[in-house]
Amino acid sequence: VNAKYEVKEFYGETIVPLMQGQPGFQSLNVEAGVRYASYNSLVVGIASNKFNNWSYKAGGDWAPDDMFRVRGMYQRAVRAPAIQEIGLPRTPGTGDADTDPCAGTGPVGNASLTALCVATGVPAARIGGVSGPISGQVNNYTGGNPSLTPEKANTITAGFVFTPQAVVPRLSATIDYYHIKVNNAIIQLPEQSILNACYIYDKSASSPFCQRVHRNPLNGSLTGGTETGVDAAYVNAASYLASGIDFGVHYGFDLSDNMGAINLGLDGSYVISSKERDASFLPERDCKGLAGLTCKRPDPIWRFTQTTGWSFGPLDLSMHIRYISGITQDSIKLSGVAPSSFKKPTIPSYAYFDLQGSYAVTSYLTVRAGVINLTDKDPPVLGTGWGGTAENSGNTLPATYDPIGRRFYVGATVRF
């Protein structure tokens, strides 16, 4: 990667206390901020680009008393393309696709599709005999795009904090709603989306998506040499909408007879929607609770971590439960594919148990030990079709599920 940025920014922000210590207004604050950024980027020997953007925020919080606090914020957020996204060299590789509209008998008897397939590189004599994707894969190209511009998002968060220390000491709870809409998102379009955009939606050989299809000149397929495949380099095309609820509850109490204290905690998230659109004219999909070649990495509806801890003098012990709700293969929900087409059409909910402990030997030395995945729970074995090539490693999804099994660790901290 031979690329660089020059960035100039100015920003200002403020928090203004409007009222404090009044009946019904323990505190009332407003918050605002603004930022301007100007970018000059260069991919050496290829292209340069220049762009600017504004981002801003406005919100506040209100605490009527010591127990409740309500908070909210609206933000225009931006993310400029990273060095790798503008400067990664174009590299041939392997991508994911279920179907090729020009493969098999698909274009036979369909004059317009036949003409489009020929215009995008299928030899006329091969119509009706083009080989489709092999094991859900086609050749592709990945790489950067010097013309990328920033993503823009409108975000809304609102929630409250409950800390009834005078009534129930050591109890605290939070709940927050989030709604995030991202436009002009930088994406490596799924190869299947590029093929669908070309042959099902655009239907024009000169369209930007059809220009990304490079067929084998001998047989019209999407496999072959390094000059054959679907160009999945980065592009500003996608939009996302994510909404949900984050929550947390924490409570602690002392045991009788000087037996230490128990600390309980629950932190989790519930997904209301997780919508994606690869381009403005392509259909929107909701990936909530799904994973596969389209939605890629699993997006569980529920996730939480529950912690139970016991503290007794210098000794701390705790049990953690990591919960992931069930996942459905996205082709079943999004494309109506029969569940019997998959070795595992669904992944059941998963719970991992971890143990950890620490002991303060002196004020200078603390030792610790633990067990991760106490029950040695195996990851789901899924076969092909679950997640893209980058996500499905060894027929499972190691970024979400534990592929290693039970393991132990010990350590020590020394303070001088």
Tens digits of per-residue pLDDT, 404-413? 999 999 999 9
What is the DSSP code string of 204-216?
A: -TTSTTGGGEE--
Query: Taking the model in full, what pTM does it have?
Result: 0.82
Q: How many CB atoms lie within 10 A of CB 111?
A: 8
Residue 87 has pLDDT above 90, yes or no: yes
- pLDDT classification of 40: cutoffs 50, 70, 90: very high
**Share in percent of the chain as helix, strand, coil (round to 5):** 10, 50, 40
Average pLDDT over residues 239-252: 97
d(CA 111, CA 124): 12
Encode pLDDT of 89-134 as tens digits. Answer: 989 999 989 899 999 999 999 999 999 999 999 999 999 999 999 8
Burial (Cβ within 10 Å: 0-12, 13-18, ≥19) of residue 139:
buried
Give per-residue pLDDT as tens, 346-357.
Answer: 999 999 999 999
Indicate the average pLDDT of the chain.
Answer: 94
d(CA 189, CA 247): 33
- Six-digit token pair at 220? 């019209």
Res 383: pLDDT: 83
Comparing 76 with 387, which gets the higher pLDDT?
A: 76
Residue 295 has a pLDDT of 87
Rg of the chain in Å (alpha carbons)? 27
What is the per-residue pLDDT for 335? Answer: 84
How high is the pLDDT of residue 11?
97
Residue 168 has pLDDT above 90, yes or no: yes
**Rounded mean pLDDT of 383-403?**
86
The whole-number average pLDDT for the span 213-226 is 93
pLDDT at residue number 135: 85
Give the other-Cβ count within 10 Å of 353's Cβ: 15
pLDDT band at 283 (very low <50, low <70, confident <90, very high): confident
pLDDT, residue 75, reads: 98
pLDDT at 193 over 90: no
Q: How many angstroms separate the Cα of 6 from the Cα of each of 49, 52, 198, 290?
A: 11, 12, 36, 40
Question: Mean of the pLDDT values across residues 147-155?
Answer: 95
Q: Residue 391: what pLDDT? A: 87
pLDDT of 388 strictly over 90: no
Contact 40, 6 (CB under 8 A): yes
Q: Judge whether residue 324 has pLDDT over 90.
A: yes
Listed in sequence order, the residues at least 6 apart from 78 whose beta carbon sits closer than 8 Å to its beta carbon are 37, 53, 54, 55, 150, 151, 152, 153
Task: Flag whether pLDDT at 65 surpasses 90.
Answer: yes
Q: Quick one: pLDDT at residue 48?
A: 92
